[in-house]
Homo-oligomer: A and B are copies of this chain.
Amino acid sequence: MQNLCSSLRTEGLRIGFVPTMGALHEGHLSLIDLLRERVDILILSIFVNPTQFGHNEDLDKYPRDLEQDKKLCMNKKVDYIFTPLTEEMYQPNCSINISENLLSIGLCGSSRPDHFSGVALVCAKLFNICQPSVVAFGQKDAQQVAVIKRMVRDLNFQIDVLVGPIIREYDGLAMSSRNRYLSAEHRETALFLNRSLQVGKQLFTDGVTDARKIINQIKSDLSRVDGLELDYVEIVNRENLIAEIDVKKNQSICVIAVWVNKVRLIDNYCF
């Protein structure tokens, strides 16, 4: 794969790259569309990366559907799908780690302490293998976006990072491979994630700029939803993830993480 990508670059072609863990949905596919006009070659990787899962997380049951993923990629005219094996990506005595120590501490980092290190490591490896000029990530994973942008800057990767908007189901649920875990009933519960973000949006539209007031309203709303366990609701600066006191348009995001029947779901809204 690396030799192929080297050859493509030596030919002067621009590579666009979407790293994924497969179980592709419209969110992933929208990232391909985002890249298409900017690059000559489209590469999508499918790799369920073990280093970004905690010991008690869902690595083993994470949804895998390679045949369906291939069809979706072919329909989208992806040029290459890169599907390395775990033993190809990680040697038995691999001993290099990448850590990010400002942006990855709070929010999802609190309950998933090694998650963003794993994400950074696999992305650094995939970037060096696939040698993209442009990569695309989804805004749904807002903290991941901030960490990846920081890594690209701090390790001097010559890569533009594009961010695609959150793509939602017809009923407002943010698309996620983990939605496949949800029963019809739990899915109804999960809808409160987006509904509570809409409540925050409405408060801001109505003139409330005090982040604490908006957060408290959302927390209060979500606490009344049966079967939904709140991890966090925060309003932070979208770049540095520092908590905002006053909500600012196009700069502040409200980020939420919950568990619904042990399925961890995240969503966010940019004011």
Q: Taking beta carbons and an 8 Å cutoff, which residues of A are in contact with B?
A: 2, 6, 9-10, 12, 91, 93-103, 120-121, 124-125, 128-129, 131, 150-151, 153-158, 240
Contacts and interface: CB of A to CB of B under 8 A. Distances in A.
B93 A101 contact: no
Nearest to A102: B95
A91 B10 contact: no
A98 B100 contact: no
- Among A93, A95, A125, A151, the most chain B Cβ lie within 10 Å of the Cβ of A95
16 contacts: A2-B156, A6-B158, A9-B10, A91-B153, A91-B154, A93-B102, A94-B153, A94-B154, A95-B100, A96-B150, A96-B151, A97-B99, A125-B154, A128-B156, A128-B158, A129-B156
Most buried by B among A151, A153, A154: A154
Contacts of A10: 9-10, 12
B93 A240 contact: yes
A240 B91 CA distance: 14
A96 B100 contact: yes
Contact of A96 (B91, B94, B96, B155): B155
Nearest to A133: B6
